[in-house]
Structure 1
């Protein structure tokens, strides 16, 4: 199943953070596109288009390697 998923992620504060998160998620198998709406001081919205459904744990694992980024629900 393919489609778009959204994740709210804390810890992003600048364009460098956006670049790290984008690269980490784009490297996951099946991901076609990543868009980040940077909201410094609160959770940023991260939209992912993929050929499959990504689990929160999979996304969290990719983000953990990049810094102190945490998915919030």
Structure 2
């Protein structure tokens, strides 16, 4: 198991969290996504996966949800 820490900028509500969790969860190898919402700020995201993940894949997943990495 590999744990990756991200910081996502701009989420404001539970719907935002759901979108980010859904998109990151679709990255191959991801087994769990936990988000600690900081409304309107930078929210810590912990991604658990079967192995190392591509930074580009994670960045693209966050962008697909409509947000950016801080």
TM-score exceeds 0.5: yes
Give the TM-score taking structure 2 as reference length: 0.91
| Conserved 8 A contact 1:36-1:47 | yes
Other structure's SS at 2:62 match: helix
In structure 2, what is the equivalent of residue 40 of structure 1? 39
What is the aligned partner in structure 2 of residue 71 from structure 1? 69
Moved over 6 A (4+): none
> How many aligned residue pairs are there?
70
> 1:22-33 counterparts in 2 under 5 A?
22-33=21-32
Deviations 1:26-61 (A, max 9, x none): 111000000000001210000000012123221111
Structure 1 contact 56–71 (Cα < 8 Å) conserved: no
TM-score after normalising by structure 1: 0.88
Distance in 2 (CA, whole Å) between partners of 1:29 and 1:55 is 10
Structure 2 equivalent of residue 50 of structure 1: 49
* C-alpha distance in 1 between matches for 2:40 and 2:24: 22
